[in-house]
Amino acid sequence: MIAAPPLCNPTGGTHCPYCAMQCAMRLVAKDGRLEVTPRDFPTSQGGLCRKGWTAADLFTADRPLTPLLRDRRDAPLRPATWEEALDHVVRGIGAAQAAGGADAVGVFGGGALTNEKAYALGKFARVGLGTCNIDYNGRFCMASAAAAGNRAFGLDRGLPFPLQDIPEAEAILIAGGNPAETLPVLLQYLEAQRQRGGQLIVADPRRTATAAMATLHLQLTPGSDAALANGLLHIAVRDRLLDEDFIAARTTGFPTARRAAAAWWPDRVERATGVPERQLVQAAHLLGEAATAMILTGRGPEQQRHGVANALGYINLALALGKAGRQACGWGTLTGQGNGQGGREHGQKADQLPGYRNLADPAHRAAVAAIWGVDPATLPGPGPSACELLDRCGAPDGIRALLVQGCNLLVAAPNTNRVRERLAALDMLVVADPFLSETAALADVVLPVAHWAEEAGTITNLEGRVLLRDRLVAPPPGVLTDLELLQEIAERLGRGKFFSADARDVFEELRRASAGGIADYAGITWERIVAEQGVFWPCPTPGHPGTPRPFQERFATPDGRARFHAVEQPLSAEPPDQEYPLLLTTGRVLAQYNSGTQTRRVQALLAADPEAFVEIHGETARGLGIAEGNMVRLVTRRGAAALRARLVRTIRLDTVFVPFHWGGLGNANLLTNAVLDPVSRIPEFKTCAVRVECMPPASQQGSNSA
Ligand X SMILES: Nc1nc2c(c(=O)[nH]1)N[C@H]1C(S)=C(S)[C@@H](COP(=O)(O)OP(=O)(O)OC[C@H]3O[C@@H](n4cnc5c(=O)[nH]c(N)nc54)[C@H](O)[C@@H]3O)O[C@H]1N2
Residues interacting with ligand X, by CB under 6 A? 19, 110-113, 137, 140-141, 175-179, 181-183, 203-206, 208, 220, 222-223, 225, 298-301, 303, 336-337, 405-408, 411-412, 432-435, 437, 449, 451, 482, 585-588, 590, 592-595, 597-598, 657, 660, 668-669, 672, 685-687
Nearest Cα to Cα of residue 463 among 13, 8, 15:
15
Residue 23 interaction partner, one of ligand X, ligand SF4, Mo ion, none, beta carbon < 5-8 Å per kind:
ligand SF4
Residue 175 interaction partner, one of ligand SF4, ligand X, Mo ion, none, beta carbon < 5-8 Å per kind:
ligand X
Total chain residues near Mo ion (CB under 5 A): 3
49 sits near ligand SF4 (criterion: CB under 6 A): yes
Nearest Cα to Cα of residue 123 among 582, 602, 490:
490
The minimum distance between CB 158 and ligand SF4, in angstroms, equals: 14
- Is the CB of 428 or the CB of 591 nearer to ligand SF4? 591
Q: Figure out which of the listed residues 5, 13, 130, 184 binds ligand SF4, where binding follows CB under 6 A.
A: 184
Residue 110 interaction partner, one of Mo ion, ligand SF4, ligand X, none, beta carbon < 5-8 Å per kind:
ligand X
18 sits near ligand SF4 (criterion: CB under 6 A): yes
Tell me the HSE value of 543 on the side-chain side, using a 13 A CA sphere: 0
String marking each residue 473-512 x if it binds ligand SF4 according to CB under 6 A: ----------------------------------------
Do 425 and 444 meet the contact criterion of CB atoms below 8 Å apart? no
Total chain residues near ligand SF4 (CB under 6 A): 14
The residue ranges of DSSP E strands in 566-684, in sequence order, are 582-587, 613-617, 631-635, 640-648, 655-659, 673-676, 683-684
141 sits near Mo ion (criterion: CB under 5 A): yes
The minimum distance between CB 133 and Mo ion, in angstroms, equals: 22
- Is the CB of 400 or the CB of 661 nearer to ligand X? 661
The minimum distance between CB 185 and ligand SF4, in angstroms, equals: 4
Residue nearest ligand SF4 by beta-carbon distance: 52
48 sits near ligand SF4 (criterion: CB under 6 A): yes
- Residue 40 one-letter amino acid: D
The C-alpha atoms of residue 657 and residue 584 are separated, in whole angstroms, by 6
435 sits near ligand SF4 (criterion: CB under 6 A): no
19 sits near ligand SF4 (criterion: CB under 6 A): yes
The minimum distance between CB 407 and Mo ion, in angstroms, equals: 11
Pairing of strands 673-676, 631-635: unpaired
The C-alpha atoms of residue 194 and residue 214 are separated, in whole angstroms, by 9
Q: Figure out which of the listed residues 4, 5, 12, 23 binds ligand SF4, where binding follows CB under 6 A.
A: 23
The minimum distance between CB 419 and Mo ion, in angstroms, equals: 17
Task: Print the SS3 string covering 552-588.
Answer: CCCCCCCCCCEECCCCCCCCCCCCCCCCCCEEEEEEC
The residue ranges of DSSP E strands in 334-408, in sequence order, are 352-353, 357-358, 401-405
Torsion sign across C-alpha atoms 214, 217, 223, 226: negative
Do 331 and 316 meet the contact criterion of CB atoms below 8 Å apart? no
Q: Count CB neighbours of 197 within 10 A.
A: 7
Omega prior to 538 cis, within 30 of 0 = yes
16 sits near ligand SF4 (criterion: CB under 6 A): yes
Residue 230 interaction partner, one of Mo ion, ligand SF4, ligand X, none, beta carbon < 5-8 Å per kind:
none
- Is the CB of 16 or the CB of 562 nearer to ligand X? 16
The minimum distance between CB 222 and ligand SF4, in angstroms, equals: 25
Residue 156 interaction partner, one of Mo ion, ligand SF4, ligand X, none, beta carbon < 5-8 Å per kind:
none
The C-alpha atoms of residue 79 and residue 86 are separated, in whole angstroms, by 13
22 sits near ligand SF4 (criterion: CB under 6 A): yes
Binding to Mo ion, residues 326-355 (CB under 5 A): 336-337
Cα–Cα separations (whole angstroms), residue 552 to 153, 316, 507, 532, 560: 12, 17, 29, 22, 11
The contacts of residue 255 (CB under 8 Å, 6+ apart) are: none
Q: Figure out which of the listed residues 27, 112, 169, 185 binds ligand SF4, where binding follows CB under 6 A.
A: 185
Do 143 and 685 meet the contact criterion of CB atoms below 8 Å apart? no
Nearest Cα to Cα of residue 135 among 158, 173, 107:
107
The minimum distance between CB 474 and Mo ion, in angstroms, equals: 30
At residue 252, the 3 state secondary structure works out as strand
Do 575 and 223 meet the contact criterion of CB atoms below 8 Å apart? no
Radius of gyration of the chain (CA): 24
183 sits near ligand SF4 (criterion: CB under 6 A): yes
- Is the CB of 354 or the CB of 587 nearer to Mo ion? 587
The minimum distance between CB 337 and Mo ion, in angstroms, equals: 5
Element (H, E) at 535: strand 535-536
- Is the CB of 21 or the CB of 432 nearer to ligand SF4? 21
The minimum distance between CB 186 and ligand SF4, in angstroms, equals: 7
The minimum distance between CB 226 and ligand X, in angstroms, equals: 10
Q: Which residues bind ligand SF4 (CB under 6 A)?
A: 16, 18-19, 21-23, 44, 48-49, 51-52, 183-185
Which residues contact Mo ion by CB under 5 A? Answer: 141, 336-337
